[in-house]
Amino acid sequence: MDSRIWFGRRAATCARQVARLSYLGSLTLLVAGFGLSAQTSAPGPEFPPSMKHPLIPSHGSNLLGVFYLAAGAGPHPTAVLFHGFPGYEQNLDLAQELRRAGWNVLAVHYRGSWGVAGKFSFLGSAEDADAEVNFVLDPRNTAEYRIDPDRIVVIGHSMGGFMAASAAAHNPRVKAAVLLSAWNIGAARPNEADEAKALASGENLAPISGTDGTTLAHEEFTHRAELDMVNLAPSIAPRPVLIVTAHDGSDQFAVPFTEALRSAGDTHISHSHFETDHSYSGKRLELANVVLDFLKTE
C-alpha cells in the first residue's frame, strides 16, 4: 500500500530500527547452496519466452493475472509474486528481470480486486496466495508451464509481503521467501476507527470490491493473531528469507519478524535497505539485483 497510509505514522522510528537491522544483518547468510539459481536450457523456436493468462481457481472465483514463462525447455524455477493493497505497484518490472534470468513468474490479483470476482478481504487474500502456490505445484501445471516444483519461491510487496510469508508458512514446499517492505497486517494499530479511515482514504478502495474501510479494519482487529506475521515465523524457519526495507517505516515490521525467525532457528536471513519510498522509486534496478543475488547459488 502507499507509504503515506501504512507507514507514515511510524516514519520517525526508521533510524532506530535501521540500526537494529544493521546488527541483525551482520548475522545474515546468503542463499548459497539452496538450488535456487536458474539452470535453463538454450532458448529455441520451440520454447521462446512467452506470457500466459491462466485462470487460477480459488474458493469459487478464478484469479486473473499473468504468467511470464522463461525461454527454454526448462524445467524452470518459478516465483509467485504478490502485490500489495490495493496493488497500484505490481512490480512487473521485477517479474521481467526474473524471467530474463531464467525464472517463470506468476503474478495475479486477489479475489475482489482489479476485476476479479468475489469480495476482497485480508484472510481471503491469504487463501488466494495458497491457491497460487498450489497451482504452480500441481503436476499438470508443472508439465504445461515447464515448472521445477522443487524450486518455488514467493515474493511479496507491502501487503503482499504478508501474503508471501503466509504462503511460505502454509506450504513447506516453498523454497524461500522475499519480503519487500512487508506490512504486518496484524500488528498493533492506534484504534479501529482510525484504521478504517486510513484504509478508505485516497484511491485505496477504487480497485477493491465487496467491502469498505470499516469492514477491513474490523477484520484486522478481530483476526489480529492470524494476521500477525510474527506468528508465522516458526512455520517458515529454517528456510531462506530476504527482507528488504525502504525509508517508509517498514522497519517497524521487519525487526520483530527478523527476531522471530532467528528465535525459531532460522540462520538463512538476508536484509537490504534502500533510502527510497515505498514503491522503491529510482531504485528499481538495484532492487532487482538484490533479489536476483539472493536467489543465485555460488
Tens-digit pLDDT profile for residues 10-32: 444 444 454 454 444 444 444 33
Q: Which three cell numbers stand for residue 137?
A: 505445484
Q: Which residues lie closer than 8 Å to 30 by C-beta, 6 or more apart?
A: 270, 293, 294
Q: What angle do CA 229, 231, 233 make, to 5 degrees?
A: 80
Residue 38 has pLDDT above 70, yes or no: no
pTM of the model: 0.88
Question: Dihedral of the CA atoms 275, 277, 282, 283 (nearest 10)?
Answer: 60
Which CATH number applies to 3-37+49-295?
Answer: 3.40.50.1820
- Measured distance CA(167)–CA(128) in Å, rounded: 9
Residue whose C-alpha is closest to residue 166's, from 152, 151, 156, 175: 156
Q: Residue 62 — pLDDT band, cuts 50, 70, 90?
A: very high
Among all chains, which residue has been given the C-alpha cell 524457519? Answer: 237
pLDDT surpasses 50 at 54: yes
CB atoms within 10 A of CB 88: 16
279 band by pLDDT with thresholds 50, 70 and 90: very high
- Segment 184-201 mean pLDDT: 91
Lowest pLDDT segment from 17-21, 57-61, 175-179, 240-244: 17-21
DSSP 8-state class, residue 35: S
Residue 100: pLDDT over 80: yes
CA distance 50 to 281: 27
| CB-based contacts of 25, cutoff 8 Å, min separation 6 | 270, 271
- The C-alpha cell at 7 is 507507514
